[in-house]
Chains A and B, each alone.
Chain A
Amino acid sequence: MLMKHVLIVFAGLALVLGAESAAADDVDDLLELFGDEALHVSIDARVVEDGERTIWNMELTRVTISGRSVQVRLDGDNIIVRARFTPYRNNESLLLVAQGQTWLKVAGSDELRYETAFETVPIELGETVVFYPLGQENVTMDVDTKRYGTINLELEITVVPYFQAVEKN
């Protein structure tokens, strides 16, 4: 799956950059250009209990270029989360435009809640950001039920240059 997306981006870059550089006809040059431009987006979706303990997680990686978004959807029993992360690269720094939408059916009722988030986060390549689709509040113990908080969702996003990710793996 990852290879398929790498090839798609690779082909796209070949078309775009080919118009700008005649030397890019050579495969090695294209690879070099690709390495310069491609970004590796790593997303770790987690279900966290009591704000500390990870009880479930799934990692996902996508390859993209500056300005092209990566979209993720989380489907649960009473929840749907859609998140879109668009990295805009400027040398070693990155502007990550993050959009999140959360639909949640409130337990024990027919009420449906919808919340959105939109953030533009300036980060360095390799720095991590976290999207909390349900909020980030610390939940203290409920004195009536003697229960600690609730489970929460987190999406941890890290963007690095593609070749850096390949070398690391």
Chain B
Amino acid sequence: MSLEDMRYPDDARLSAYLDDELPAAQSSHLDARLREDSELRSRYARLRGVQEFLWSEDEPNFQEAMERTWHRLSLRNFEQPRTKWWRRPVAVPLSAVAAALAVLLLVGGVLIRFGGPAQLSEERSSADRLSESFELSAHARESEELLRRLSGSDSGDEVTIQLPESRTFEFVGQPVIVPAGH
């Protein structure tokens, strides 16, 4: 904060001072300024008046205000939107939830016990279809795949040459690849 800001604090700074939100040093500086400057004191008094007025009022009854507003709108043929039935809050007793869960478990167990083979058969048939489609695509891609593998550069097929010992190399420039004679 500049010296100018402290000499002529704006309403935001005065409001922060009023709410006791300024750092201690700035707050004590403003204390001194308020004692010296009558105009600043007047601005501060106005702000404090607004704050006291706001605090003096009870919190408005929003629910009542909302009902009043809808009533006025209904007089002008506006219809209040209805909450969908599946979005309305429903209170279910814990015992009912437990009972429903038990029934679900029972039904699930029966289905697995007696409906198992049919389900497995269906899974197998879908697996067969997958296998067929894989084989088909494998035929179509066979050549491409072989070429790719042959061209694979990470085959580890690297030849290592041991350079003569007791030779220390240095860079003489940037590595370069050029046609011979250049």
A108 to B7, CA, bound (A): 65
Main secondary structure of the interface of A (DSSP, over half): strand
Q: How large is the interface on B (under 10, 10 to 19, 20 to 34, 35 or more residues)?
A: 20 to 34
Question: Contact partner of A129 among B151, B171, B180, CB < 8 A?
Answer: B180
Interface size class of A (residues with CB under 8 A): 35 or more
Q: Assess whether B147 is interfacial by the CB under 8 Å rule.
A: yes
Interface string of B134-172 (1 = CB under 8 A from A): 000000001100110011110001111111111111111
Closest to B158 in A: A71
With beta carbons under 8 angstroms apart, the residue of B150, B169, B172 that contacts A65 is B150
Q: Give B83-136 interface residues, CB cut-off 8 Å to A.
A: none
CB of B66 within 8 Å of the partner chain: no
A-B contact count (CB 8 A): 149
**CB neighbours of B162 from chain A (8 A):** 75-76
Q: Would you call A100 an interface residue if the criterion is a C-beta within 8 Å of the partner chain's C-beta atoms?
A: yes
B151 & A67 in contact (Cβ 8 Å cutoff): yes
- With a cutoff of 8 Å between Cβ atoms, the chain B residues found around residue A106 in the complex are 170
A27 to B71, CA, bound (A): 97
Min distance, Cβ A84 to any Cβ of chain B, angstroms: 7
Among the listed B152, B164, B173, B179, which residue makes an inter-chain contact with A134, where contact means beta carbons less than 8 Å apart?
B173
With A72-B158, A72-B161 as contacts: A115 and B175 at CB distance below 8 Å: yes
Give complex CA distance A90, B13 in Å. Answer: 78
For residue B25, CB closer than 8 A to chain A, the reply is no
Do the beta carbons of B150 and A56 come within 8 Å of each other? no
Q: A20-B143, A60-B161, A73-B161 are in contact. Are A151 and B176 (CB under 8 A)?
A: no
Among A92-151, those with CB < 8 Å from B are 98, 100, 102, 104, 106-107, 113, 115-117, 119, 121, 123, 127-137, 139, 149-151
A45 at the interface (CB under 8 A from B): yes
**Residues of B close to A134: CB separation below 8 A:** 169-173, 175
Question: Quick check: A136 and B151 within 8 Å, CB to CB?
Answer: no
Q: Which residue of B lies closest to A66 (CB)?
A: B151
Min CB distance, B165 to chain A, in Å? 6
CB distance from A139 to the nearest CB of B (A): 6
Complex CA distance for A104 and B167, rounded to whole angstroms: 12
A69 touches B168 (CB 8 A): no
Contact A127-B158, Cβ < 8 Å, known A74-B163, A113-B171, A132-B175 = no
Q: Is the CB of B163 within 8 A of A131?
A: no
9 further A-B contacts with Cβ under 8 Å, apart from A121-B179, A152-B169, are A71-B158, A72-B160, A73-B158, A77-B167, A107-B168, A129-B179, A130-B178, A132-B176, A156-B180
What are 22 pairs between A and B in contact, CB < 8 Å?
Answer: A12-B146, A47-B163, A65-B151, A69-B151, A71-B159, A77-B166, A77-B168, A84-B153, A100-B175, A104-B170, A107-B168, A117-B175, A117-B177, A132-B178, A133-B175, A134-B169, A134-B172, A135-B171, A135-B174, A136-B173, A150-B169, A153-B163
